[in-house]
Amino acid sequence: MIVTVVNHKGGVTKTTTAIHLAGFLALENGEGSTALVDTDPNEGALEWAARGEDTETPLPFPVLGPEDRPGEEEHVVYDSQGRLYGEDLDAAAEFSDVLVVPTTVDGVAVNTLMRFVEDVEGLGADAKCRVLLTRVPHRWSLRVIRTRRALEEAGVRLFSGQIRERVAFQDAGTAGVLVGQVKGKGAREGWEDYLRIGRELIGER
């Protein structure tokens, strides 16, 4: 399965989502099953992996640069560059089995999301697109409920699960590990959120 994690807007946990979906697939399917390709010029996933290597706590999958090619892995996750448009978006939609689009629930992020969804629909690839709500407050606010309802009414395909806001994700990025390996508060729950998304993802196959 080829998964591309993409959004026109930054700051929506795109790299965090790519890392943790790759982590889920790697742990679910075993060593050598999964690779992550970092095509974002910011190199967030490559830097995340490097920090883990420095502390001898490597991620359970290789992180490759944009010039590298995956090997025989069954699953490949792409942490895409931001703001894919035109031919780049068309190519990503064509070779991917699923486009995972993380978004926060603030107004600017949702407006940007809808423009992205329109771009994907224009390519006829909307069936591959799944939106993931991230950085969701622990207690659902009325804004979260209204956002989810509005997106569903607009025909946007949402994951039923969502990723709650956790300081542990920042700790995981700093240490270069998966959130489930962090000892901080909320780390286990953060990993469980991504486990639910991962299970939804493979259920689509």
Give the model's confidence band at 142: pLDDT under 50 very low, under 70 low, under 90 confident, else very high: confident
> Does the pLDDT value for residue 135 go beyond 80?
yes
* 139 contact partners, CB below 8 Å, separation of at least 6: none
Residue 34, CA distances (Å) to 70, 115, 135, 172, 196 in order: 9, 31, 25, 20, 18
CA 37 – CA 34 distance, rounded (Å): 10
Band the pLDDT of 99: cuts 50, 70, 90.
very high
pLDDT in the model for residue 33: 97
Please check whether residue 44 is in contact with residue 79, taking contact to mean a CB–CB distance below 8 angstroms: yes
What's the angle, vertex CA 153, arms to CA 192 and CA 123, rounded to 5?
85
β-strands 98-103, 75-79: how paired?
unpaired
Half-sphere exposure of 197 (CA within 13 A, CB side): 31
Q: How many CA atoms lie within 13 A of 113 on its CB side?
A: 31
Task: Identify the pLDDT of residue 144.
Answer: 87
Q: What is the pLDDT, as a whole number, of residue 194?
A: 97
> What share of the chain has pLDDT > 70, as a percent?
99
Q: 78 forms bridges with which residues in the sheet?
A: 4, 37
Nearest C-alpha neighbor of 202 from the set 75, 35, 96:
75
C-alpha neighbours within 13 Å on the C-beta side of residue 17: 33
Is pTM, for the whole model, over 0.85? yes
pLDDT per residue as tens digits for the range 33-74: 999 999 999 999 999 999 999 999 999 999 999 999 999 999
CATH fold group of domain 2-203: Rossmann fold (3.40.50)
pLDDT of residue 133: 94
Q: What is the DSSP letter of 12?
A: S
Tokens of 58: 């490597």
- From residue 158, alpha-carbon distances to 49, 133, 152 in Å are 29, 8, 7
pLDDT > 90? residue 83? no
pLDDT-derived band at 204, boundaries 50, 70, 90: low
CB of 52 within 8 A of CB of 19? no
How does the average pLDDT of the chain come out, rounded? 91
Residue 205 has pLDDT above 80, yes or no: no
Higher pLDDT: 149 or 12? It is: 149
Please say if the pLDDT value at position 145 is more than 80.
Answer: yes
pLDDT in tens, 155-183: 899 999 999 999 999 999 999 999 999 99
Q: Could you give the CA distance from residue 89 to residue 199 in angstroms, rounded to a whole number?
A: 26
